[in-house]
C-alpha cells in the first residue's frame, strides 16, 4: 500500500475517542514539568584539576585518555561562561574521534583564582593558556587543537599568534567575528543591565538561563549555569554545593525580564483568586542567595582589545582554521574575501543561539570531527561509522 493510499484510508476512519486518563498538551490545565535541577561536572568529565602557575590556580576539566593516540582539544569559553559550557560537546566529540578534551576556567571565571582577577587583557589571557599547558605537559605536550567560543575564540586567535603553544595543529573559532563583535559592544552594557543581578536558587538561575534564551538546550544549561554563579554568603562557586539535597526544589518562577519566555502560557486555565501569602513566604521568595561569578560590565576597557584586528589575525594564523558561525550574515569583509580565497573552512549552523556548542553540541562535534579527520589530525572512534558517512561539504 502506497503512502497516498494510507493517507486516504486514514481520512475515512472515525476519530479516536480520547483517553481521559492521559491529558493532551492542549487540554486546559495541562502543563509540562521541566527539570531545572543542576547536574554535576562528573557526569561529563573524568577529572577536575587545579593547575598552579606563577599567576594563580586555574581550574581545568579533563575527559578520559583516548584509547588511541589523538589530539588534545583545549577549549576556551566565552565571557561570563565557564569551562562547564563544553560538557555536552566533550561527550559528543569523544564518540566521533580519539581525542582528549581540556576545558579551562579562564581568569576571572569559574573556580579559577588568580593574583589579578581584573586583568582580562587579550595578552594576559593568552599567556595564561600557554602557562597552563607548559605546567601540565612541559616539553611533552601532545598535538593541540584550540577551540574557542566568543571571547574564548578571540583568545584562541591571540594564543595562536603569540606562539605560546608550540604543538599547535589547528584553531577553531565559534561565533565571533571582528566586525559584528565591535558593533555589538555599543549595546553590551544595556544587555548586561537587563539580566537579573541575583537568583534565589541554582534552579532559579537555570530556569532564567533557558527562558531568556541564553542557552536553548536545557540539558546543557543544567550543567553549565552553576559554573557562572556564586553563593553571596560564602563567595564560592555554586558547583561546590552539588549535589543538592533531594528536598531542595523550587516552584516555577515568574521573571520580570521582558525577554523571558513563559512556557505553555496559552495553555493555563484562567486566573483564580489566591490567598495573600504570609510575610514569611514573601520574605523567602525575595531571598537573594546567588549572583554572577564575574561582573562583565567592569571589563569594558578590555573589550575592544579582544576583537580589534581579529579578522586579520585569524587569517594570519599559520595552521588550518575553522570558523563556525550561527549565521552567514556575521561575516565581515576581510573574512568574506579570505573565505573566497580558501584561507579557512567556514561552517554555518542555523536555528541556534550564540552559544552554538551548547545549543547543538552534536552538530558542532560532527563539524569539528570532520575537520580533524580531513586534515588527518585524528582517528575515528568506534567502528568508523562516522567516517563512512562523513559529510562531503
Q: Which of 111, 354, 357, 359 is catalytic?
A: 354
Q: How far is CA 3 from CA 9, 13, 192, 215, in A?
A: 10, 16, 52, 39
Q: Is 29 in a helix, a strand, or coil? A: coil
Cα within 13 Å of Cα(294), Cβ side? 26
Cα–Cα distance, 165 to 134 (Å, whole number): 8
Q: Which of 150, 238, 299, 311 is catalytic?
A: 150
Annotate 151-173 with b (16+ C-beta within 10 A) or e (fewer): bbbbbbbbbbbeebbeebbbbbb
Angle at 188 between CA 185 and CA 193, to 5 degrees: 165
> 10 Å Cβ neighbour count for 277?
11
Phi, psi angle pair for 63, to nearest 5° = -85, 170
Choose among 123, 66, 75: nearest CA to 94: 66
- DSSP of 150-216, one letter per residue? THHHHHHHHHHHHT--TTEEEEEEES--HHHHHHHGGGHHHHHHHS-SEESSHHHHHHHHHHTTS-S
Antiparallel, parallel or unpaired: β 100-104 and 113-114: unpaired
Angle at 125 between CA 119 and CA 127, to 5 degrees: 120
Choose among 191, 58, 153: nearest CA to 344: 153
Sheet holding 198-199, edge to edge: 198-199, 290-292, 229-231
Q: How far is CA 4 from CA 13, 14, 15, 152, 301, in A?
A: 15, 18, 19, 52, 64
Q: State yes or no: is 175 an active-site residue.
A: yes
Asked if 363 and 391 touch (Cβ cutoff 8 Å), the reply is no
Q: Which of 85, 175, 220, 359 is catalytic?
A: 175
Report, as residue numbers or ranges, the catalytic residues. 150, 175, 354
Amino acid at each position: 500500500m502506497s503512502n497516498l493510499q494510507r493517507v486516504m484510508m486514514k481520512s475515512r476512519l472515525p476519530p479516536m475517542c480520547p483517553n481521559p486518563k492521559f491529558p493532551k498538551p492542549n487540554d486546559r490545565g495541562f502543563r509540562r514539568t521541566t527539570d531545572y535541577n543542576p547536574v554535576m561536572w562528573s557526569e561529563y568529565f573524568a577529572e577536575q584539576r587545579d593547575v598552579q602557575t606563577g599567576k594563580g590556580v586555574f581550574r581545568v576539566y579533563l575527559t578520559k585518555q583516548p584509547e588511541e593516540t589523538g589530539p588534545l582539544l583545549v577549549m576556551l569559553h566565552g565571557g561570563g561562561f565557564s569551562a562547564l559550557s563544553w560538557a555536552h560537546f566533550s561527550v559528543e566529540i569523544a564518540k566521533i574521534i580519539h581525542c582528549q578534551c581540556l576545558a579551562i576556567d579562564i581568569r576571572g571565571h569559574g573556580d579559577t583564582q588568580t593574583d589579578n582577577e581584573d586583568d582580562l587583557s587579550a595578552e594576559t589571557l593568552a599567556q595564561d593558556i600557554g602557562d597552563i599547558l607548559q605546567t601540565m605537559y612541559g616539553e611533552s605536550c601532545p598535538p593541540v587543537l584550540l577551540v574557542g567560543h566568543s571571547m574564548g575564540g578571540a583568545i584562541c586567535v591571540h594564543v595562536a599568534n603569540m606562539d605560546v603553544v608550540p604543538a599547535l595543529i589547528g584553531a577553531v573559532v565559534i561565533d565571533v567575528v571582528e566586525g559584528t563583535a565591535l558593533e555589538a559592544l555599543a549595546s553590551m552594557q544595556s544587555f548586561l543591565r537587563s539580566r537579573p543581578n541575583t537568583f534565589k536558587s541554582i534552579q532559579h538561575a537555570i530556569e532564567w538561563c533557558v527562558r531568556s534564551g541564553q542557552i536553548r538546550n536545557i540539558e546543557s544549561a543544567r550543567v553549565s549555569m552553576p559554573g557562572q554563579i556564586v553563593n553571596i554568603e560564602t563567595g564560592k562557586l555554586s558547583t561546590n554545593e552539588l549535589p543538592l539535597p533531594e528536598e531542595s526544589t523550587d516552584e516555577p518562577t515568574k521573571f520580570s525580564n521582558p525577554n523571558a519566555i513563559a512556557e505553555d502560557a496559552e495553555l493555563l486555565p484562567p486566573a483564580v483568586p489566591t490567598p495573600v501569602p504570609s510575610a514569611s513566604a514573601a520574605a523567602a521568595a525575595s531571598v537573594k542567595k546567588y549572583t554572577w561569578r564575574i561582573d562583565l560590565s567592569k571589563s569594558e576597557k578590555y573589550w575592544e582589545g579582544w576583537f580589534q584586528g581579529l579578522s586579520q589575525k585569524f587569517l594570519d594564523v599559520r595552521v588550518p582554521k575553522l570558523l563556525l558561525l550561527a549565521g552567514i550574515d556575521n561575516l565581515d569583509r576581510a573574512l568574506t574575501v579570505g573565505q573566497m580565497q580558501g584561507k579557512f573552512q567556514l561552517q554555518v549552523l542555523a536555528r541556534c543561539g550564540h552559544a552554538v556548542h551548547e545549543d547543538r553540541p552534536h552538530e558542532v562535534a560532527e563539524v569539528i570531527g570532520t575537520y580533524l579527520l580531513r586534515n588527518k589530525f585524528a582517528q575515528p572512534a568506534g567502528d568508523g561509522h562516522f567516517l563512512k558517512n562523513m559529510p562531503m561539504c
